């Protein structure tokens, strides 16, 4: 089978290419160039650096497969970067990896694969596709520590039928072992954890450099008493503790961001507790399910048992069986039944307030 493999230059996707090749597939490697400097240069930090694509090229050469760097910068900039900045300016906490998977990576990539006569695409994500007859389910990876199904929740059964996640049943140490046994130079390369286009720098500077926040505002407690001032709501996310004034012996957290009135609400840990909230733009892998559900409210957070209630075609209410801390509007609520991913959507800000108050 001819398979298009997305190669970032990291060990995971290197091993994917190696495994598929050793299984006898006709493998083509592609690095998606997502982000660039003003003169088209590749970034020096974060992922997608020129050194990363160079690593991917070397792995492809070692495996003797065709390899290309394809330009996805326009789509990435429009769908991910603009959205990232916009979300912060609205007091939301974006998840650029989800946005990238949702609107850049898979759509465009699968379309390109089809044009290149590839039957499938493969990536180095830790997630598992389970097929029963004609349906394709998305499951958590066997190696839970690295499970990335959360950021893939928007993939539907239809799309999953065209994807392969070969690392779904392999552990990270095994991946490194395979890479070493194949002689791939990425075998012991450090994992990248940063937001690819921000790198090690503070995301706040990135956001500030792209949007004009002339107006600061007040930091208030839940009774609207002014505690301090801030220089723009984009500097805060719900659940943030760092840089919050006036502790009086007790740690304070951002509990809510009111963009319209330019206010940042702070409170104690208990004020961060949520029991009910709304998710919007909800999609399901293979249709709605209501039994035995649990939800993750952040990437790699623990599963909280919950009840799902339909409000509209794409809007659902989540009721948690146990209240939890730091549900941040803008992040995604991803629903599972045990290891099977049912669906997910973006945590809403407005409706969350109504329910909590």
Partner 1 sequence: MKRNDYLYLDHAATTPMRDSAFEAFKNAEEFAFANSAGGHELSRRAKNLLEESRDFIASYFGAAPSEITFTSGGTEADNWVIKAPFIDTKKNQNLVTSKIEHEAVLASAEWLENQGHEVSFANCNKDGQVDIEDFLDNCNDNTSVASLMYANNETGVVQQIEKLAKEVKSKNSEILFHSDVVQAVSSEKLDFHKLGIDSAAVSGHKIGGPKGIGIMFLSSKYKLPNYFHGGKQELEKRAGTVNVSGVAGLAAALKEHQDNFESEKKKILQERQIFESEIKNALEAKIVGEKINRLCHISNIQFKNVNSETLMVALDLKGLGVSRGSACASGAQKPSHVLVAMNVPDVDINSHLRFSFGWNTIKGDGKHASEIVINTVREIL
Q: Which residues are catalytic?
A: 100, 196
Q: Does 40 bind partner 1 (CB under 8 A)?
A: yes
Q: Binding partner 1 by CB under 8 A: which of 45, 50, 208, 289?
A: 50
Sequence-distant (≥ 6) Cβ neighbours of residue 155 within 8 angstroms: 101, 106, 138, 163, 285
Shortest distance, position 72 Cβ to partner 1, whole Å: 9
Shortest distance, position 50 Cβ to partner 1, whole Å: 5
Q: How far apart are CA 278 and CA 316, in angstroms?
A: 6
Q: Does 44 bind partner 1 (CB under 8 A)?
A: no
Closer to partner 1 by CB, 31 or 95: give it: 31
Shortest distance, position 49 Cβ to partner 1, whole Å: 9
Q: Does 64 bind partner 1 (CB under 8 A)?
A: no
Q: Does 1 bind partner 1 (CB under 8 A)?
A: no
Q: Binding partner 1 by CB under 8 A: which of 6, 28, 264, 304?
A: 28
Closer to partner 1 by CB, 42 or 272: give it: 42
Contact 251, 266 (CB under 8 A): no
Q: How far apart are CA 314 and CA 328, in angstroms?
A: 19
From edge to edge, which strands make up the β-sheet containing 2-6?
67-71, 26-33, 2-6, 120-122, 163-164
Q: Binding partner 1 by CB under 8 A: which of 57, 58, 172, 189?
A: 57
Which 172-231 residues touch partner 1, going by CB under 8 A? none
Closer to partner 1 by CB, 27 or 293: give it: 27
Q: Binding partner 1 by CB under 8 A: which of 45, 58, 62, 69?
A: 69
**C-alpha dihedral (305, 311, 312, 317), degrees to nearest 10:** -30
Q: Which of 141, 121, 138, 119 is nearest to 129 (CA)?
A: 138
Q: Quick one: tokens of 271?
A: 């004020």
Closer to partner 1 by CB, 40 or 249: give it: 40
Question: What are the E-state strand segments in the chain?
Answer: 2-6, 26-33, 67-71, 120-122, 127-132, 135-140, 163-164, 217-220, 226-230, 253-258, 263-267, 273-284, 294-296, 304-310, 316-325, 332-337, 340-347
Closer to partner 1 by CB, 50 or 259: give it: 50
Which 96-115 residues touch partner 1, going by CB under 8 A? 112, 115
* Segment (H or E) for 180: helix 172-181
Q: Binding partner 1 by CB under 8 A: which of 13, 14, 53, 349?
A: 53
Return the exposure string of 58-68: e unless at least 16 CB atoms fall within 10 Å of the residue's CB, then b.
Answer: bbbebbebebe
Closer to partner 1 by CB, 28 or 351: give it: 28
Q: Does 38 bind partner 1 (CB under 8 A)?
A: no
| Stretch touching partner 1 by CB under 8 A, among 36-44, 120-128, 255-263, 333-341 | 36-44
Closer to partner 1 by CB, 116 or 270: give it: 116
Q: Binding partner 1 by CB under 8 A: which of 22, 23, 117, 229?
A: 117
Q: Which of 65, 187, 167 is nearest to 116 (CA)?
A: 65
Residue 329 DSSP one-character state = B
Q: Binding partner 1 by CB under 8 A: which of 68, 259, 337, 355?
A: 68
CA 230 to chain centre: 28
| Stretch touching partner 1 by CB under 8 A, among 68-76, 182-190, 320-328, 339-347 | 68-76
**How many residues contact partner 1, by CB under 8 A?**
18
Contact 17, 65 (CB under 8 A): yes
Shortest distance, position 36 Cβ to partner 1, whole Å: 8
Q: Quick one: tokens of 9?
A: 């230059």
Q: Which of 313, 286, 293, 296 is nearest to 347 (CA)?
A: 296
Q: Does 31 bind partner 1 (CB under 8 A)?
A: yes
Q: Which residues bind partner 1 (CB under 8 A)?
A: 28, 31, 33, 40-42, 50, 53, 57, 66, 68-71, 112, 115-117
């Amino acid at each position: 089978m001819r398979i298009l493999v997305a190669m970032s230059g990291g060990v995971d996707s290197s091993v994917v290419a190696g495994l598929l090749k050793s299984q006898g597939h006709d493998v083509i490697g592609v690095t998606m160039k997502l982000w660039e400097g003003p003169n088209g240069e590749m970034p020096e930090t974060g992922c997608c650096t020129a050194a990363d694509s160079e690593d991917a090229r070397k792995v492809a050469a070692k495996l003797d497969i065709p390899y290309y760097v394809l330009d996805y910068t326009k789509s990435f900039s429009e769908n991910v970067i603009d959205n990232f900045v916009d979300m912060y300016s609205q007091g939301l906490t974006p998840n650029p990896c989800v946005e990238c998977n949702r609107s850049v990576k898979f759509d465009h990539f699968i379309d390109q694969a089809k044009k290149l006569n590839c039957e499938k695409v493969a990536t180095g994500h830790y997630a598992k596709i389970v097929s029963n007859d004609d349906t394709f389910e998305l499951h958590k990876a066997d190696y839970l520590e690295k499970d990335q199904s959360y950021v893939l929740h928007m993939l539907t059964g239809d799309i999953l039928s065209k994807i392969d996640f070969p690392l779904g049943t392999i552990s990270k140490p095994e991946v490194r072992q395979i890479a070493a046994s194949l002689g791939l130079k990425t075998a012991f390369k450090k994992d990248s954890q940063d937001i690819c286009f921000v790198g090690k720098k503070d995301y706040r500077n990135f956001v500030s450099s792209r949007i004009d926040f002339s107006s600061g505002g007040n930091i208030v407690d839940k009774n609207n008493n002014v505690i301090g001032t801030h220089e723009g709501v984009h500097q805060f996310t719900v659940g943030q503790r760092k840089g919050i004034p006036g502790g009086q012996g007790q740690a304070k957290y951002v509990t809510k961001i009111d963009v319209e009135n330019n206010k940042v609400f702070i409170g104690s840990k208990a004020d961060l507790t949520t029991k009910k909230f709304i998710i919007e733009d909800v999609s399901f892998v293979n249709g709605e399910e209501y039994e035995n559900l649990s939800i993750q409210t952040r990437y790699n957070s623990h599963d909280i048992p919950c009840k799902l209630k339909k409000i509209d075609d794409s809007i659902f209410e989540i009721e948690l069986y146990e209240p939890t801390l730091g549900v941040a509007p803008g992040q995604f609520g991803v629903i599972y039944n045990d290891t099977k991913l049912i669906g997910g959507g973006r945590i809403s800000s407005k409706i969350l307030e109504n329910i909590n108050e």
